[in-house]
Amino acid sequence: MSASVARPRRQGPGGTSKLVPSLLVAPMVLGLLAFAVYPLLYLLVLSVSESLLGKPFQAWIGLANYRDALGDEVFLGSLRRSVGFALPVTLIELVLGFAVALLLQGSIRGGHIVRTLILLPLMTPPIMVAVAWKLILHPSGGLLNAILGDLGLTERPVSFLGSSTWAFPSIGLADAWQWTPFVILLAFAALQALPEETHQAALIDGASPWRAFWGITLPMVAPALIAIGLIRLVMAFKLFDLVYALTQGGPGFDTTVGTFQIYRTALDQFDVGSASAQTVLFALLVSLVTLPVVVLRDWALRRFA
């Protein structure tokens, strides 16, 4: 007696076997369209229209908003300040964060506790960071002025946030305090991922720790460091919370960066069309500044990976 074996039916070109993957990908595609593509298209349309807050798309004006933005010295100055803030702050945080990560990599007692404490600024809400540093930098009773006075470095309190000389560096100091732990965390993870055998072999062959660091550790971790610097550079361009809470863009326009000027245009002047054009130009600037870093990262990956 022969037993019949049921064979699976083959699906045709339009069968459910090809429909299932499409259904699985559909939520991600819909989410991308809803949260990325649509807002971008909406922003571009706003930028070529006369739009006020609550009254968008009143008239089609072409590139007039872009011409006005490129002719506005206040906006152009805010772009220069954004670049002048993002580049040095990123470099300082990258160097400092990598140095601390190297120290943490060593076998230190209580290392887990130290790493947890270092990450506390990163877990603090930005507005709380701004409030804390406003108290530290306050000319009357501020911690920094008290320290400088006790050391005899100043004869009278310094208004750090009200000074054209010190306001921007003060914001940079607060930003470095908050975000250097981010660099430490990622740099420490990159160092932990390196093969220890290569470093140990170099030491056995007679290389000094310093030479082993420059010849082995740094080249191997360079792609990761450049990627960390790229992430941090983009984040530095997004500076807003500290400026809003500490200086409101002052004194004058000395700490008005691109993001804060866009905020002023949109929510103080209610000119959403001009703010949209400024946003597009700001995004182009960030892309131009970060492009060399992307190229450098790709080169490092080919050279050292």
- Residue by residue, DSSP assigns 244-293 as HHHTTT-STTTT--HHHHHHIIIIIS-BHHHHHHHHHHHHHHHHHHHHHH
Q: What residues contact 103, with CB distance under 8 A and at least 6 apart?
A: none
Q: What residues contact 29, with CB distance under 8 A and at least 6 apart?
A: none
pLDDT digits (tens, 9 = 90+) for 271-286: 999 999 999 999 999 9
- Section 77-98 average pLDDT: 96
Predicted confidence at residue 32, as pLDDT, reads: 77
Predicted confidence at residue 1, as pLDDT, reads: 46
pLDDT confidence of 107, banded at 50, 70, 90? Answer: low
pLDDT confidence of 132, banded at 50, 70, 90? Answer: very high
Residue 251: asked if its preceding bond is cis (omega within 30°), the reply is yes
Q: Could you give the CA distance from residue 236 to residue 212 in angstroms, rounded to a whole number?
A: 32
Which of 225, 248, 277, 243 shows the shortest CA–CA distance to 82?
A: 243
Q: Of the ranges 9-23, 143-157, 258-272, 277-291, which one carries the lowest mean pLDDT score?
A: 9-23
Average pLDDT along the chain: 87
Backbone dihedral angles phi then psi of residue 56, each to the nearest 5 degrees: -80, 160
pLDDT at 71 over 70: yes
The identity of residue 287, as a single letter, is: S
